[in-house]
Structure 1
Amino acid sequence: MASTTEALNAERILEATEEVLRRHGPAKATVVDVARALGVSHGSVYRHFRTKVALREAVTKRWLDRTTQTLEQIAGTRDETPPVALRHWLGALFTAKRRKAGDDPELFATYTVLLGEASSVVQEHIDELVGQLNQIVFRGVQEGDFTAVDGDSAATARAIFDATNRFHDPCYAHEWEQPGIEAEFSTVVSLVLRGLRR
């Protein structure tokens, strides 16, 4: 149990919530369980997160943001050419998703349930990822490496995201450890890059 002398803040609550979800799963985890893990009253948790739904959305967003932050660095770099950056970004997304599914399967399963509940959080995450892809595509068009579909880099970025869906959508997680998946991923990325060439 956490010391009650430590300042209670949103980050501590989210960390505790993640542990409670790992232990109990999304169906059984309650705000009372989170409060108990922190050594505080459930009212103290509600002062930071007004509802159970708000708490679950916040913990889902925190989980998704871990991936987004890593990818933002790749999308924003000027150290790589756009084709190299795109391959790097797609590879990092696939690696991050596989790691989440493989390293902590209980929590991954829990978040898969939460993703279904937190549609606005998921949509914001997807929009952010597509925005990062758009950064890479737009720069590629400016530098003469890529051509965008109908001159629209945002629509092209969305098409790339959709075309690589098998390698980042949690519903395909059961396929991510199958033999040959890396080769299949590499083939799809090479095809995408070939299609983008000016």
Structure 2
Amino acid sequence: MSPTTETLTAERILEATEEVLRRHGPAKATVVDVARALGVSHGSVYRHFRTKAALREAVTKRWLDRTSEALSGIAAEEGRDPEARLRGWFQGLFDAKRRKAGHDPELFATYSVLADENVEAVGEHIDDLTAQLTRIVEAGVAAGAFTSADPAATAGALFHATGRFHDPCYAREWERPDVQDEFDAVLDLLLRGLRP
């Protein structure tokens, strides 16, 4: 089936946009390039995304949502020991960021630019991640494994304290051979502070 005979969906447009961004970078990629990759007119793309900015925001959100969705499974593992769950969640976040930065550095650089453009989408992503962490901290408090008077504030503090291992501005450091040891040491310290 040729691209023009397939149903044009928002998901197909986002996939094509990601590929165009990978090839051309955020400065040169245009809606016309996306339409050309799909074999449709740029007007067809605009029927799904009213502006270029809306399209770029949707691509950014899609990228961030992949990480949130993967981590939500860990956050929901209620039968798992809260400390192991918290450690697994942060390891999952760190691994996801390292994988994105290391396996596709061009696209990672592109998304770093898009994230700077779409502060609201990034803020929603961080809110979602800290809400997941809050659920883990609350479960730890309920099980007697953690102590916290305010699980939401604790979750926010944990997220910020580990920023070096998930904030894209530190991506170059993630390639160092001792970075996993440093990550483990920070997490050990934080977990010790959570114990009653």
TM-score computed with the length of structure 2 as normaliser:
0.99
Q: Secondary structure at the match of 1:110?
A: helix
Match 1:161 to one of 159, 162, 166: 159
Alignment of 1:62-141 (within 5 A): 62-141=62-141
2:177 alignment counterpart: 179
5+ residue gaps, structure 2, are: none
CA distance in 2, matches of 1:25, 1:193: 40
Kindly report structure 1 stretches of 4+ aligned residues shifted beyond 4 Å: none
2:192 alignment counterpart: 194
CA distance in 2, matches of 1:190, 1:79: 21
Q: How big is each residue's C-alpha offset from its partner over 1:36-77, in whole Å with a ceiling of 9 and x where there is no partner?
A: 000000000000000101000000010111111010000011
Q: How big is each residue's C-alpha offset from its partner over 1:135-178, in whole Å with a ceiling of 9 and x where there is no partner?
A: 00011011110011xx1000000000000000000000000010
Alignment of 1:134-149 (within 5 A): 134-148=134-148
Q: In the comparison of the two structures, how many residue pairs are matched?
A: 196
Give % identity.
Answer: 68
Q: Secondary structure at the match of 1:28?
A: coil
CA distance in 2, matches of 1:20, 1:13: 10
| Cα RMSD, aligned residues only | 1.0
Match 1:170 to one of 168, 171, 174: 168
CA distance in 2, matches of 1:7, 1:108: 29
The alpha-carbon deviation at position 96 of structure 1 amounts to 0.3
User: In the alignment, residue 180 of structure 2 is paired with which amino acid?
Assistant: E
The alpha-carbon deviation at position 4 of structure 1 amounts to 0.3
The alpha-carbon deviation at position 3 of structure 1 amounts to 1.5
CA distance in 1, matches of 2:79, 2:139: 12
User: In the alignment, residue 63 of structure 2 is paired with which amino acid?
Assistant: W
The alpha-carbon deviation at position 79 of structure 1 amounts to 2.9
TM-score computed with the length of structure 1 as normaliser:
0.98
The alpha-carbon deviation at position 80 of structure 1 amounts to 1.0
1:45 alignment counterpart: 45
